[in-house]
Amino acid sequence: MEVHRCRFVKYQPASINALSYTPRTAKPTLLACGRANGNIEIWNPQWEWNLDKTIPGGANMSVEALVFTHQTILTDEDDYDTEEEKVEARKNLLAAPPRLFSAGLNAYIMEWNLHTLQAQRSVDSHGGAIWCMAANHVNTVLAIGCEDGCVRLFDIADGELSFIRSFDKQKGRILSVAWSPDDKYIVTGSSDSSIRKWDVTQGRSIARMTVEKLRREDTLVWAVSVLASGTIVSGDSLGHVKFWDGKLGTMLQTFPAHGADVLCLVASRDGRTVFTSGVDRKLNQFHLVETSISSKKRKAPSNNSSAGVPAPTSTTKWILAHNRRFHSHDVRALALEEDRPVNALVSGGIDVSLVVCPAQEFPDTTQRRLSCLPQKPVVSVSKTKRLMLCRFTNVVKVWRLGKGRLRVLLVAEKFVISCLTLTQWRSSHYCQLISSNIDLLRFPASAPTQPYLDMDIGAHLDLVEPQQAVLEMTMKDDRNITASALSENGMWIAVAEVEETKLFKVEDDPNYPGRLIVRKQKQFASSIVTPSTRGFGAHYLLFTPDSSKLVIAMTNSQVLVVDLSGWQEQRYEILRRFGQHRGMGENDERNDDGDEQVSTIVSMTISADGQWLSTGDLLNRIHVFNLDALQVRIYLGLYVSDIVYGRHCKDEYHTTLPNFAPTHTTLTFHSYHPSTLIVSLASNEFYLYDVELCRLTDWSRKYSEKLPIKFLQFKDKIMGFGFNPARPNTIVAWGVSYLCLIDLAKGVGDRDAVLNVAKRKRVEEDKAEAHKKVERRRRYEKLGITTPMPEPPRSALGEEGEGVEDDGVNFQVLHKFQPLMFLDFVGPDSMVVVERPMFGILEKLPPSFYKAKYGT
Partner 1 sequence: MSHERITCLASHPTEPCVATGDDRGRITLWYCFTAATVKKPVTSTLHWHAHQVNYMTFTADGVYLLSGGEEAVLVIWQLETGHRQYLPRLGSEIRSITVSPDQSLYALGHLDNSVRVFNALDLDIKQAIQGLKYAQTDHLTNPLSTGLVIEPRNHHVVLNGVPGTLQFYNAYTDRHVLELEVTPRNKASRTDDKEIVQPHVDLVAFWGRGEWMATVDSRDDGETTPELYLKFWRWDPDAQSYTLNTRVDAPHAVPITSLAFHPVPSGRNACPLAITTSKDKTFKIWHLVTQPGAGQNEYDVAWACRSIGVYRDYVPHHAAFSDDGSILAVAYGQIVTLWDPYTNTFQGVLVHPPEHRVVKRIEFLGGNSTFLVSVTRDHLYVWNLLTCTVWWSYQIKVDHLAADRQSSHFIVANNFPDSSDCRFLVFDPRTPIPVLIHSVPDKCRALAYLPRDDLPSFSTDRSGASSVLGHSNVIFLNQKWDLHVLGQAQTDEGSDRDETDARDKVSLASITPAPKTYFSDIFGTIRPKPSQEQLKAAAAAQQAAVAAAKDRAGKGEEEEKAFDLLSAPSHVMPSVATVFEAFMEGLLGKVGEVKEDAGRMEEDRDDEKDDEEAKEDQMDVDVVVPSANELSVPAPSLAAQDLSEQEVAIATKGGAFGFLGNQFLRQLTAGDKPNGHVVAKQAPSTPHYPKTNGVFANGKANGTLAHDSSDTDMEPEPGTGWNDKTPVSARTPKKAVVDEEARRVATPKKAVVDEARAVATPKSAGKKRKQ
Q: Rounded to the nearest whole angstrom, what is the least distance from the CB of residue 293 to partner 1 in the complex?
A: 5
Cα gap 765→229, rounded to integer Å: 62
Which member of 322, 654, 751, 761 binds partner 1 (CB under 8 A)?
Answer: 322
Q: Rounded to the nearest whole angstrom, what is the least distance from the CB of residue 322 to partner 1 in the complex?
A: 7
Cβ atoms of 551 and 544 within 8 Å: the answer is yes
Rule CB under 8 A: is residue 297 a binding residue for partner 1?
no
The C-alpha angle 298, 304, 309, rounded to 5 degrees, equals 40
Rule CB under 8 A: is residue 321 a binding residue for partner 1?
yes
3-state SS assignment for residue 227 = coil
Extract the runs of DSSP E, i.e. beta strands, from 729-804.
730-734, 739-743
Rule CB under 8 A: is residue 256 a binding residue for partner 1?
yes
Cβ atoms of 529 and 535 within 8 Å: the answer is no
Nearer to partner 1, 253 or 655 (CB): 253
Phi, psi of 24 (to 5 degrees): -60, -30
DSSP track, 453-515? GG-EEEEE-EEEE--EEEEEEE-SSSBPEEEEEE-TTS-EEEEEESS-EEEEEEEE-SSSTT-
Rule CB under 8 A: is residue 255 a binding residue for partner 1?
yes
Cβ atoms of 98 and 30 within 8 Å: the answer is yes
Rule CB under 8 A: is residue 275 a binding residue for partner 1?
no
Stretch that binds partner 1, among 209-217, 259-267, 282-290, 821-829 (CB under 8 A): 282-290
What is the Rg, in whole angstroms, of the alpha carbon atoms belonging to the chain? Answer: 31
Q: Rounded to the nearest whole angstrom, what is the least distance from the CB of residue 240 to partner 1 in the complex?
A: 10
Cα gap 264→275, rounded to integer Å: 8
Nearer to partner 1, 311 or 574 (CB): 311
Stretch that binds partner 1, among 128-136, 317-325, 547-555, 825-833 (CB under 8 A): 317-325
Nearer to partner 1, 261 or 743 (CB): 261
Rule CB under 8 A: is residue 229 a binding residue for partner 1?
no
Q: Rounded to the nearest whole angstrom, what is the least distance from the CB of residue 854 to partner 1 in the complex?
A: 6
Cβ atoms of 11 and 373 within 8 Å: the answer is yes
Stretch that binds partner 1, among 284-292, 450-458, 723-731, 737-745 (CB under 8 A): 284-292
CB proximity list for 154: less than 8 A, separation 6 or greater: 109, 123, 141, 142, 143, 144, 161, 162, 163, 164
Nearer to partner 1, 321 or 574 (CB): 321
Nearer to partner 1, 272 or 520 (CB): 272
Which member of 90, 287, 368, 426 binds partner 1 (CB under 8 A)?
Answer: 287
Which member of 77, 82, 84, 293 binds partner 1 (CB under 8 A)?
Answer: 293
Q: Rounded to the nearest whole angstrom, what is the least distance from the CB of residue 317 to partner 1 in the complex?
A: 8
Contacts with partner 1, 172-211, as mask; x by CB under 8 A: ----------------------------------------
Q: Rounded to the nearest whole angstrom, what is the least distance from the CB of residue 253 to partner 1 in the complex?
A: 7
Q: Rounded to the nearest whole angstrom, what is the least distance from the CB of residue 181 to partner 1 in the complex?
A: 21
Rule CB under 8 A: is residue 338 a binding residue for partner 1?
no
Cβ atoms of 144 and 130 within 8 Å: the answer is yes
End-to-end CA distance of the chain: 46
The helix (run of H) or strand (run of E) holding residue 771 is helix 757-783
Q: Rounded to the nearest whole angstrom, what is the least distance from the CB of residue 320 to partner 1 in the complex?
A: 6
Rule CB under 8 A: is residue 214 a binding residue for partner 1?
no
Stretch that binds partner 1, among 286-294, 563-571, 624-632, 657-665 (CB under 8 A): 286-294
| 437: nearest Cα among 393, 467, 407, 473 | 467
Rule CB under 8 A: is residue 257 a binding residue for partner 1?
yes
CB atoms within 10 A of CB 611: 20
Q: Rounded to the nearest whole angstrom, what is the least distance from the CB of residue 254 to partner 1 in the complex?
A: 7
395-400 and 174-179 as β-strands: parallel, antiparallel, unpaired?
unpaired
Cβ atoms of 464 and 474 within 8 Å: the answer is no
Stretch that binds partner 1, among 138-146, 316-324, 385-393, 477-485 (CB under 8 A): 316-324
Rule CB under 8 A: is residue 655 a binding residue for partner 1?
no
Rule CB under 8 A: is residue 289 a binding residue for partner 1?
yes
Stretch that binds partner 1, among 102-110, 151-159, 313-321, 605-613 (CB under 8 A): 313-321
CB proximity list for 511: less than 8 A, separation 6 or greater: none
CB atoms within 10 A of CB 781: 12
Extract the runs of DSSP E, i.e. beta strands, from 307-444.
316-325, 331-337, 344-349, 355-358, 368-369, 379-382, 387-391, 395-400, 403-405, 408-410, 416-418, 437-442
Side-chain half-sphere exposure of 142, counting CA atoms within 13 A: 32
Nearer to partner 1, 364 or 593 (CB): 364
Q: Indicate the burial class of 737 (C-beta count within 10 angstroms; 0-12, 13-18, 19 or more).
A: middle
Q: Rounded to the nearest whole angstrom, what is the least distance from the CB of residue 291 to partner 1 in the complex?
A: 5
Rule CB under 8 A: is residue 291 a binding residue for partner 1?
yes
Rule CB under 8 A: is residue 319 a binding residue for partner 1?
yes
Contacts with partner 1, 339-378, as mask; x by CB under 8 A: -------------------------x--------------
**What Cα–Cα distance (Å) separates residue 492 from each residue in 145, 195, 575, 847?**
47, 58, 18, 41
Rule CB under 8 A: is residue 292 a binding residue for partner 1?
yes
Task: Count how many residues are written for the chain.
Answer: 856
Q: Rounded to the nearest whole angstrom, what is the least distance from the CB of residue 249 to partner 1 in the complex?
A: 20
Nearer to partner 1, 323 or 489 (CB): 323
Number of residues that bind partner 1 (CB under 8 A): 19
Nearer to partner 1, 210 or 427 (CB): 210
830-835 and 2-6 as β-strands: parallel, antiparallel, unpaired?
parallel
Stretch that binds partner 1, among 152-160, 285-293, 509-517, 822-830 (CB under 8 A): 285-293
Cα gap 263→221, rounded to integer Å: 9
Rule CB under 8 A: is residue 756 a binding residue for partner 1?
no
Q: Rounded to the nearest whole angstrom, what is the least distance from the CB of residue 274 to partner 1 in the complex?
A: 13
Which member of 12, 120, 122, 253 binds partner 1 (CB under 8 A)?
Answer: 253
Q: Rounded to the nearest whole angstrom, what is the least distance from the CB of residue 290 to partner 1 in the complex?
A: 5
Q: Rounded to the nearest whole angstrom, what is the least distance from the CB of residue 780 to partner 1 in the complex?
A: 40
Give contact residues for partner 1 (rule: CB under 8 A).
253-257, 287, 289-293, 319-323, 364, 854-855
